[in-house]
Amino acid sequence: ATETESAHAALHARHRAVLPDWLATYYARPIELTHGEGRHVWDAEGRRYLDFFGGILTTMTAHALPEVTAAVTEQAGRILHTSTLYLSRQAVELAEHIARLSGIPDARVFFTTSGTEANDTALLLATTYRGSNQILALRNSYHGRSFSAIGITGNSAWSPTSLSPLQTLYVHGGVRTRGPYAHLSDAEFTAACVADLEEMLGQASGTVAALIAEPIQGVGGFTSGPDGLLAAFKRVLDRHGILWITDEVQTGWGRTGEHFWGWQAHGQAGPPDILTFAKGVGNGLSMGGVVARAEVMNCLGANSISTFGGSPITTAGALANLGYLIDHDLQGNARRVGGMLRSRLESIAAGLDIVREVRGRGLMLGVELVEPGTDTPSATAASLVLEAAREQGVLIGKGGRAGNALRIAPPLSLTVAEAEEGAEALAAALKHAQSTMEGTAV
Ligand code: PMP
């Protein structure tokens, strides 16, 4: 083994010895990233990769974006003192900005340090406001890893406990590739999901607090119901006074191209009661938050404080990052380059037996994989493609209830040339995985 290989093996052994067994890592030989620039990252062994996953969508604009680095460095050189006990100019400015962008009238913003904490807070607000611990969630959902967020995660692979403080009622609507409604048209699917929601509400005893939904399910494999489904749900929720929480942790900030927020694909629904965000806003800094109209945000009857939420350093970085995103119309870029990438992936998929479906919008694209020539989901295919894509110099993600979906979510500044380069590499990786599965690999 070379020196770098031995160093890598030693680090991997130490990682396994001291970190929990349940922490997921990608690749048989996990990657140690050392630096990045633009849409590329480098590992400790000096290999360069085109980053088509951006740390699960956290790299929103670009790696090592000079504007963000400058804002963070400047702030770090002044003061790192944090806590909501003192006023922060950046936190107020960022909150004003996000309140305006949210589309929620009379919006209040609370900053957290993660998506999990944002959803946890949204659940605290909704359950308190409604006086109920019953929550509606979508099957195949993922909302985080805290005790309460696990309780609304409809994917057993990511739900290590069933002892949640919440009572969760799971409804259809997140995934339509498979399941009892898979063969229906958009209108029929929507009607079936609404009927399912109404049936669930009929079974619920007492008040239901809220429905929480990812407009496009992230960990679930970039799946979603038809546009307008959440508007149809909203009409039912309104009859019962049930709140609507939109989890925009993956779908926010223009990633879906056509819309700034995922919920806007269901525009007729109007703004949600509560919106949660995280990931991309900090471009890698631990930043998340909750937006809600004042009446809902202010329903808590005791004091609260956050030591790290909205700290000067994360808010300075997020302000610079969001400013760059808007000044450079990266939402428009996600629409244009994402649309092109999707067509390329569709034509690649047309010649392959392991691809069941290409889906998603903007720069949030999913590829569902099956055993060649069948309809059986294949997690093996997804792992093979991930490894082969890495060999080709491209990092992607995977997901889906059966672990058989590829997730493609590059930084939103992706260029056309980089999209082409990534598509070529993915075509080679998909072909390699298919031949391996068919036993014809050479
Ligand atoms: N909600 C969604 C939709 C997510 O994808 C994730 C993270 N994958 C979370 C919440 C939790 O965010 P975090 O990992 O920052 O706690």
With respect to residue 275, please indicate whether it lies within any of the assigned structural domains.
yes
Looking at the structure, tell me whether residues 220 and 303 fall in a common domain: yes
Mutate-to-test residue for ligand 1 from 140, 249, 250, highest number of ligand atoms within 8 A of CB: 249
**Residue 436 CA to ligand 1 centre (angstroms):** 33
Per-residue confidence (pLDDT) for residue 127, from 0 to 100:
98
The neighbour count for residue 38, using CB atoms within 10 Å, is 18
Let me know if 231 is exposed, middle or buried by CB neighbors in 10 A (0-12, 13-18, 19+).
middle
Per-residue confidence (pLDDT) for residue 93, from 0 to 100:
98
**Interval 267-326: pLDDT, tens:** 888 899 999 999 999 999 999 999 999 999 999 999 999 999 999 999 999 999 999 999
- Ligand 1 atom closest to 218 (CA): 5
Task: Tell me the CATH number at 230.
Answer: 3.40.640.10
Looking at the structure, tell me whether residues 197 and 337 fall in a common domain: no
The sign of the CA dihedral 311, 117, 158, 13 is: positive
Looking at the structure, tell me whether residues 205 and 315 fall in a common domain: yes
With respect to residue 109, please indicate whether it lies within any of the assigned structural domains.
yes
Residue nearest to atom 1 of ligand 1 (CA): 143
* Ligand 1 lined by 249 (C-beta under 6 Å): yes
Looking at the structure, tell me whether residues 320 and 340 fall in a common domain: no
Burial 413-442 (b: 16+ CB within 10 A, else e): bbeeebbebbbebbbbbbbbbbebbeeeee
With respect to residue 125, please indicate whether it lies within any of the assigned structural domains.
yes
Looking at the structure, tell me whether residues 111 and 45 fall in a common domain: no
Task: Tell me the CATH number at 352.
Answer: 3.90.1150.10
Q: What would you measure as the largest C-alpha separation in the chain, in angstroms?
A: 67
With respect to residue 420, please indicate whether it lies within any of the assigned structural domains.
yes
- Ligand 1 atom closest to 115 (CA): 12
Looking at the structure, tell me whether residues 73 and 219 fall in a common domain: yes
Confidence of residue 30 (pLDDT cuts 50, 70, 90): very high
ipTM over 0.85: yes
Mutate-to-test residue for ligand 1 from 57, 112, 142, highest number of ligand atoms within 8 A of CB: 142
**Residue 341 CA to ligand 1 centre (angstroms):** 25
Burial 302-336 (b: 16+ CB within 10 A, else e): eeeebebbbbbbbbbbbbbbbebbeeeebbebbbb
Looking at the structure, tell me whether residues 117 and 102 fall in a common domain: yes
Burial 250-260 (b: 16+ CB within 10 A, else e): bbbbbbbbbbb
Last residue of a domain, one of 327, 347, 368: 327
* Ligand 1 lined by 115 (C-beta under 6 Å): yes
Query: Within 328-415, where are the H helices?
Result: 330-350, 379-391
Looking at the structure, tell me whether residues 235 and 92 fall in a common domain: yes
Give the pairing type, strands 397-399 and 405-408.
antiparallel
Last residue of a domain, one of 327, 360, 389: 327
Domain with 339 in it: 31-61+329-437
With respect to residue 19, please indicate whether it lies within any of the assigned structural domains.
no
With respect to residue 2, please indicate whether it lies within any of the assigned structural domains.
no
With respect to residue 103, please indicate whether it lies within any of the assigned structural domains.
yes
**Interval 412-425: pLDDT, tens:** 999 999 999 999 99
Looking at the structure, tell me whether residues 344 and 414 fall in a common domain: yes
* Ligand 1 lined by 266 (C-beta under 6 Å): no
Residue type, 389: A
Last residue of a domain, one of 297, 327, 357: 327
**Interval 66-76: pLDDT, tens:** 999 999 999 99
**Interval 380-422: pLDDT, tens:** 999 999 999 999 999 999 999 999 999 999 999 999 999 999 9
With respect to residue 11, please indicate whether it lies within any of the assigned structural domains.
no
Looking at the structure, tell me whether residues 115 and 133 fall in a common domain: yes
185 contacts 116 by C-beta, under 8 angstroms: no
DSSP reduced 3-state for 49: strand
Looking at the structure, tell me whether residues 405 and 288 fall in a common domain: no
| 140 pLDDT more than 60 | yes
How many domains are contained in the chain? Answer: 2
Token code pair at residue 177: 């590739």
* Ligand 1 lined by 407 (C-beta under 6 Å): no
**Residue 46 CA to ligand 1 centre (angstroms):** 30
Looking at the structure, tell me whether residues 259 and 333 fall in a common domain: no
Q: Is the pTM of this model over 0.80?
A: yes
